[in-house]
Amino acid sequence: MCKIMCERSRLMQEIGILCFVTVELGLYLDTHPDDREAMRYFHYYTALKNEKSDLYNQKFGPLTLSDVKDGKDCENEFLWTVQPWPWEGGME
């Protein structure tokens, strides 16, 4: 059980870091739209964030409503609402 919770917690932390990086790069690019290196970083970290989010979604369920997919095999997708929230200590 701890192995699963540790992996879940690690993925959440990595996704949080990658979200922060992509938001900050996006803000930088708002004022520096011609910075090609920053744009490459933005695309790289966005792809990495999407990869980690997809992995989390496959293993633990959707993180957000936009991660819920259409289809017959998704009848339990809204189980994310009954999972422990981070402030409830469910990620430790």
Model pLDDT, residue 42? 98
The string of DSSP letters for 65-84 reads GGGPPPSGGGTTGGGGGGSP
HSE-up of residue 29 (Cα within 13 Å, Cβ side): 15
Model pLDDT, residue 60? 84
Domain boundary assignment for the chain: 2-88
Question: Which pLDDT tens digit goes with each residue over 50-85?
Answer: 999 999 988 888 787 777 665 545 555 566 566 666
Higher pLDDT, 74 or 26: 26
Model pLDDT, residue 61? 80
Model pLDDT, residue 72? 47
